[in-house]
């Protein structure tokens, strides 16, 4: 199947979705794909880039400024969703950051705290508020953007790796606690993906990871968006608590 395949059935027709970290990379691709699949998308990001999304979308996207590490901003974002739409059917917890290459003993506490505040605490804050709105509407689907690093260590990335491993544990916890509320929760775990951050990274950092991928290439953000779409759709109605790798076979080695 071509990576440019156009799906004729709009799988999120009539649904409201919240996508965090939607200003660039995977989050941006997810927001655009969900809108094209019929969802009304609230695209949240701390980046100014999110404001341009509505002009690119084949569908409805409402840009929102939100730093997920700020509890007040998260609460305001979900409150805006409730006030404007009265429901939330899909959440993609995508906002995340990395850090410069450093071994554990070299990592500053401020860096550790900053990564955890976005990647783990931020995801918790979004879930805390969004789940209440989903329950009021009769259920929903959650996709947490984990990582290949959720299951494999990578030298020099300790804060990022630990935050993504913990994020999948959070996925499992949500799946178990809210199954009876008709809320599903899954993790997507990309390998090297050609986001702006990866494209700007030194080749000596990225090239070995691509070389270690059996397919011999990195993922495109649109490919990750396709997996998130499936898990968010009703086609995945009996899938919850899982971790779904999209890494070109790297984890199979």
Handedness of CA 145, 247, 162, 199 (dihedral sign): negative
> Running DSSP on this structure, what letter comes out for residue 220?
P
Task: Catalogue the E-assigned strands of the chain.
Answer: 16-20, 40-45, 60-65, 90-93, 140-145, 183-190, 243-246
Contact call for residues 133 and 87 (beta carbons, < 8 A): yes
Residue with tokens 């990001």: 45
Backbone angles phi, psi at 140, to 5 degrees: 170, -175
| Cα separation, 137 vs 159, whole angstroms | 36
Q: Which residues pair with 43 in a beta bridge?
A: 19, 63
Q: Looking at 148, 160, 178, 244, which residue is catalytic?
A: 160
Dihedral pair phi/psi, residue 16, rounded to 5°: -110, 130
- Annotation says 178 is catalytic: no
CB 186 within 8 A of CB 241: yes
Cα dist. 247→23, 209, 244 in Å?
Answer: 23, 10, 10
Residue 160 vs residues 100, 137, 150: alpha-carbon distances, Å: 10, 34, 9
Which residues are designated catalytic?
160
């Amino acid at each position: 199947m071509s990576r440019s395949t156009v799906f004729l059935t709009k799988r999120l027709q009539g649904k409201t979705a919240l996508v965090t970290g939607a200003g660039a990379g995977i989050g941006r691709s997810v927001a655009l794909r969900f809108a094209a699949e019929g969802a009304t998308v609230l695209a949240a990001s701390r980046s100014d880039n999110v404001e341009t999304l509505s002009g690119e979308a084949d569908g409805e996207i409402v840009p929102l400024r939100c730093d997920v590490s700020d509890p007040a901003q998260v609460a305001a974002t979900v409150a805006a969703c409730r006030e404007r739409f009265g429901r939330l059917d899909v959440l993609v917890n995508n906002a995340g950051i990395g850090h410069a290459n450093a071994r554990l003993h070299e990592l500053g506490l401020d860096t550790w705290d900053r990564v955890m505040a976005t990647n783990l605490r931020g995801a918790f804050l979004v879930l805390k508020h969004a789940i209440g709105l989903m329950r009021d509407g009769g259920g929903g689907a959650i996709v947490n953007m984990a990582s290949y690093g959720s299951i494999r260590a990578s030298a020099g990335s300790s804060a990022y790796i630990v935050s993504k491993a913990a994020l999948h544990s959070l996925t499992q916890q949500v799946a178990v606690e809210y199954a009876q509320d008709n809320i599903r929760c899954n993790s997507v775990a990309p390998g090297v993906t050609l986001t702006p951050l990866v494209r700007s990274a030194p080749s000596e950092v990225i090239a070995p990871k691509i070389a270690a991928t059996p397919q011999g290439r990195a993922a495109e953000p649109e490919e990750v968006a396709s997996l998130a779409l499936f898990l968010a759709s009703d086609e995945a109605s009996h899938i919850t608590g899982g971790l779904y790798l999209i890494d070109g076979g790297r984890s199979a080695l």
